[in-house]
Chain A
């Protein structure tokens, strides 16, 4: 279905090719998972399939890409629209019309399909993706998972033979991600669509993959069956790492596979307990009866929350549960319709934003909003002057958080992880006691997430109270001491990570599911207990 013959891609402003001499053959009806670190060339590889690389992005492509017999050299993306469907990372950015039904029809209108065919296919796509109830709803009002399904439906109506998905679940909560993945696997099974999917959240998708493509970062692509690929040194979900640690053969790809082999390991671990995190310090932030409302919509409903110094607290809950509203209200810059927030006896919402910032630091969801200068260095110097610190303070902080960032880079050219570190350094320079991070794990690869977890733990040991809102259960298992779950603006669960996470099927990390009923959450804990290097 897809054939890449000696494909190399070089972008105009670089000398090193992103892809080097790639030879691939992907048969029909396969779900193909693309792995690799940020910047390893995953998006480029996906882009070559429908000709966006190089027709749209620029750059030099040598070799040949054939999709269903069509050469992308002579077929620009628009001429491949009936063969390849592409869904980008942010579905909202790719919507052209404003209601679900019109969006589903848009691509068919471009292909000049007759009206009766369009009508029929729209109805089919609505059913296939479970969107029938939403047909006349505005796309902007849909939840993240619904938007993602609408975006998939919008390319599906052209009956493409190939579907290209770039991180389809990275912004979604666990349940919405399940919905989207269920829809995708149904397409593969029932319609024989070939799916090429890049995703960092391996724990969600690996079990569905028929083939894994791994981009180590040097421009090459390694291809193989999932089990064979996972036996080697490639980024892997916790279940695979647990399998590697316990020496299981074949390496398990799903929780179900792992549980069947986990009996002896459970026996070895019985009677031991994972090392507890450091106990909580004094209360750093005390919030009572916090209410946030937007007109008639109540986003946060009388929430009480005490944040202890020296603790990392994870804030979880589905999209729209009020996590962001609560964080902004705690920081003092966001709306607060009622209740009190107190840090060191002061309310951050009273007084100047500089005072609020010295009490509570917040890294917003779109961290790049805080950056506006041309170089990293200029941002660091600006942060020093803003907080009246001696020059070099922020730079030293950044060096601690993530060493080795080139100071002359434009902030927009940094990777997600680097940009997050920069913004975190800018927010930490005013040395707040409480640090809040809104969805920092979005778009981070495994390594970047591990580094972030280490940074948060260190902030906690320095005596700060850290709150991180996230959908990523594996990240929570490694980084958080405490989990607070929000639903419809109310706290529905609050307790130690093990207590909250183990009792919930949606929030349980893979290791917990495999070793259930034993209270183990991460591969690292298991490795320490067995006294082997992870």
Chain B
């Protein structure tokens, strides 16, 4: 049978990690704009479906369920605390908790009291929104190889990136050496308990860690780490000044955007200034770092498509929210069944497209034994 040439599925490859992060952050922005439980449920389903379709078989890809559990925990905690502390009188009472009288200095906080359906629902809605945000971050972590994500940092942040990678590899080694030393201590049947015992374990472990770090540093040095970037002192100072002021302005700008009462100058202008300053700092700093990347992740059509889905989703939600806020925040007083507004629903459904737009991930089994599979086929 002749192969159908009109559309061929893209070859399996890892999508650029930044594309997954863009998509996930887009959906997270969308989630942050609504408390409508129906929309949130659709969004979580969308995220979960994409993860199931496009995750690899690496250890981090299995972490998504942990994020889901964390989300449920957040909802539960929110409901419990809300019932305990935020008693209210109006609404449909579900049950009443014994109320505790607090001393005078804690005036204004009610412990216990009547628990209303509105109050519980409000907590569930808020919890759902937080859980959805956590799910989005979890999805990005499951879909994008965290180490490759670090590799695609701007060159000026390369040192920080490699420090994180080294720390990630050294942490399990530290645990290993603690276990080893503890086991060895038993051979000596050392009677020391408490502080003395701690010292007996800490000393060999720390000495071990220190000598390992020195060996690693020597190995990195002899393999060219930090080569040819003897940047002049002045340039280094300018870079850090730019990046630091930029980050400060960024924080200020974000604060201004989120807090409606802040003076208008603190909002968007500060955010823009921050972006420009830190961008300039990274660009200047990046120039002095001369290194290349082995098998860099390409940014192709699939990356544009996946990232675009996230941006579209966030954009439509933002517009819909400013157009009719009530659609996205269902009323609790009076208590009504939430609507499923069409435009936001369409926006969220755009987020599921990466399940087909992104190429399939490469599986370890396929990497390991291509000959075997070829023989089987």
Judge whether A77 and B183 touch: CB under 8 Å.
Answer: no
CB < 8 Å neighbour of A52 from B185, B203, B222: B222
User: A458 an interface residue at 8 Å Cβ cutoff?
Assistant: no
Report the separation of the CA atoms of residues A90 and B292 in the bound assembly, to the nearest whole angstrom.
27
Interface string of A38-49 (1 = CB under 8 A from B): 000000000000
User: A418 an interface residue at 8 Å Cβ cutoff?
Assistant: no
Q: How far is the CB of A346 from chain B (nearest CB, A)?
A: 15
CB < 8 Å neighbour of B224 from A95, A107, A114, A362: A107
Q: How far is the CB of A19 from chain B (nearest CB, A)?
A: 19
Given A52-B218, A362-B187, A364-B184, residue A78 in contact with residue B368 (CB < 8 A): no
Cβ of B272: which chain A residues have Cβ within 8 Å of it?
A: none
Cβ of A495: which chain B residues have Cβ within 8 Å of it?
A: none
Report the separation of the CA atoms of residues A52 and B203 in the bound assembly, to the nearest whole angstrom.
27
Given A56-B218, A118-B294, residue A353 in contact with residue B204 (CB < 8 A): no
Judge whether B294 and A158 touch: CB under 8 Å.
Answer: no
Judge whether B216 and A86 touch: CB under 8 Å.
Answer: no
User: A263 an interface residue at 8 Å Cβ cutoff?
Assistant: no
Judge whether A370 and B225 touch: CB under 8 Å.
Answer: no
Q: In this complex, what residue of A is CB-closest to B184?
A: A369
CB < 8 Å neighbour of A76 from B188, B221, B294: B221
Judge whether B204 and A371 touch: CB under 8 Å.
Answer: yes
Judge whether A88 and B224 touch: CB under 8 Å.
Answer: no
Report the separation of the CA atoms of residues A110 and B222 in the bound assembly, to the nearest whole angstrom.
11
Report the separation of the CA atoms of residues A80 and B201 in the bound assembly, to the nearest whole angstrom.
39
Number of A residues with CB within 8 Å of any CB on chain B: 66
Residues of A335-356 at the interface with B, using a CB-CB cut-off of 8 Å, are 352-354, 356
CB < 8 Å neighbour of A96 from B208, B220, B291: B220
Judge whether A112 and B292 touch: CB under 8 Å.
Answer: yes
Report the separation of the CA atoms of residues A352 and B189 in the bound assembly, to the nearest whole angstrom.
8
**Residue among A94, A136, A356 facing the most chain B CB atoms (10 A cut-off):** A94
User: A254 an interface residue at 8 Å Cβ cutoff?
Assistant: no
Judge whether B220 and A369 touch: CB under 8 Å.
Answer: no
Cβ of B236: which chain A residues have Cβ within 8 Å of it?
A: none
Judge whether B368 and A136 touch: CB under 8 Å.
Answer: yes
Q: In this complex, what residue of B is CB-closest to A102?
A: B294
Given A78-B227, A352-B189, A386-B189, residue A96 in contact with residue B292 (CB < 8 A): no
User: B199 an interface residue at 8 Å Cβ cutoff?
Assistant: yes
Cβ of A155: which chain B residues have Cβ within 8 Å of it?
A: 222-223
Cβ of B320: which chain A residues have Cβ within 8 Å of it?
A: none
Residues of B30-64 at the interface with A, using a CB-CB cut-off of 8 Å, are none
Judge whether B290 and A369 touch: CB under 8 Å.
Answer: no
Report the separation of the CA atoms of residues A302 and B204 in the bound assembly, to the nearest whole angstrom.
34
Judge whether A369 and B180 touch: CB under 8 Å.
Answer: yes
Q: In this complex, what residue of B is CB-closest to A430?
A: B189
Cβ of A361: which chain B residues have Cβ within 8 Å of it?
A: 187
User: B264 an interface residue at 8 Å Cβ cutoff?
Assistant: no
Report the separation of the CA atoms of residues A217 and B185 in the bound assembly, to the nearest whole angstrom.
36
- Listed from nearest, the 6 A-B pairs whose CB atoms lie closest are A94-B219, A81-B224, A105-B294, A110-B224, A369-B184, A354-B189
Interfacial residues, chain A to chain B (CB-CB below 8 A): 50, 52, 55-56, 76-82, 84-86, 88, 90, 93-98, 102, 105-115, 118-119, 122, 136, 154-155, 158, 328, 331, 333-334, 352-354, 356-357, 361-362, 364, 366, 368-372, 383, 386-387, 412, 426-427, 430
- Enumerate 9 A-B pairs (CB-CB under 8 Å) in ascending A order: A85-B222, A96-B225, A97-B165, A98-B147, A114-B292, A115-B292, A115-B295, A372-B200, A372-B201
